[in-house]
Copies of this chain bind each other. A is one copy, B any other.
Amino acid sequence: MSLLVVGSVAFDDLETPAGRRKDILGGSASYFSLAASRLHPVQVVAVVGEDFGPDQDRVFAGRPIDLAGLVRKRGRSFHWRGEYGQDLNEAVTLETQLNVFADFHPQLPESYRRASCLFLGNIDPVLQMDVVRQMSARPRWVALDTMNFWIDGAREALVNVLKEVDILLINEAEARSLSGQRQLLNIYDAVRAMGPRILVVKRGEYGVALFTPEGHFLAPAFPLREVVDPTGAGDTFAGGFMGFLAAAEHTDLETLKRAALMGTVLASFTVEQFGTGALETLEDNALHGRLAALRELIRVAPR
């Protein structure tokens, strides 16, 4: 079972209460593939510029991350500048330079077109649909992330691609905006009517809510003493979640719950350092220790 992600590979300038960093590796496909590749091989479709060099290549090297679909173009990579206040839940975008991303048209290598598990990262829904159409067979699971920019500005295209989607991963505020509903159960009804049978609502420091036809699951975020940089938490979650599903080859409720816990724990490491730093150095011991701790934090003994 192969896992394909289409998204952004970018450079970020970040300012958080813990400090600032300039020109560090970011983008949804970076966080996603670094997280997912701990669990299952990943194929990446994205575009970078000439500033993506050996230092960046090195981050992905030695991992089961296939970069055959990473297009290298003349010019600069996508660049995002953002900051977080004391309330780390929301980023303020200070500047977005699309650069080579501006005329990005994902072109899947032949070897990618039979992927059975496809993650459409948060990009223009027109491009997301374009990727779906390039697949030579309908993937077993198509998952999608999106944001208010597309919900508000490209709603028709988004609604169109959602018809092809099995699993929607989305922030809580954006789930409300997409569905016009406030309460999670009503959001899920609205989302199901649009196509996806599984809904994962990302609630930041409040964890995650998973809705499936089989049943639902609510899990907290892993409590941390310090959050350094929330950037990439959602994409890391998605990578852990999808990587777990691809490795398990199942989407029954119990597997989905474990996938959600895996995504939660991976994201907890991401936010403890700037950028992809934590994912680059994370050891299996630490990952499994925190997974066990999270399970214990939500466990109630049977009566």
A residues apposed to B, CB below 8 Å: 86, 182-186, 203, 206-207, 209, 215-220, 223-227, 254, 257-258, 261, 295-301
Contacts and interface: CB of A to CB of B under 8 A. Distances in A.
B298 A183 contact: no
Contact of A220 (B215, B218, B261): B218
Q: Copies per complex?
A: 2
B300 A298 contact: yes
Given A300-B258, A300-B295, A216 B223 contact: yes
Contacts of A296: 215
A261 B300 contact: yes
A185 B300 contact: no
B223 A185 contact: yes
B297 A183 contact: no
A interface majority secondary structure: mixed
Contact of A298 (B203, B219, B226): B219
B206 A206 contact: yes
Contacts of A183: 223-227
Given A207-B218, A216-B223, A217-B297, 13 more contacts: A86-B182, A183-B225, A184-B223, A203-B206, A206-B206, A215-B296, A217-B298, A219-B220, A220-B220, A257-B300, A258-B300, A298-B298, A299-B300
A218 B220 CA distance: 6
A223 B203 contact: no
A204 to B, nearest CB: 10
Nearest to A17: B182
A217 B258 CA distance: 18
Contacts of A297: 215-218
A295 B184 CA distance: 18
B225 A185 contact: yes
9 contacts: A183-B224, A183-B225, A206-B207, A207-B218, A207-B220, A217-B300, A254-B300, A257-B301, A298-B300
Contact of A209 (B86, B182, B223): B223
B220 A185 contact: no
A254 B86 CA distance: 34
Nearest to A206: B206
Contacts of A218: 207, 220, 223, 297-298
A298 to B, nearest CB: 5
Contacts of A258: 300
Contacts of A227: 183
Contacts of A185: 223-225
Contacts of A254: 300-301
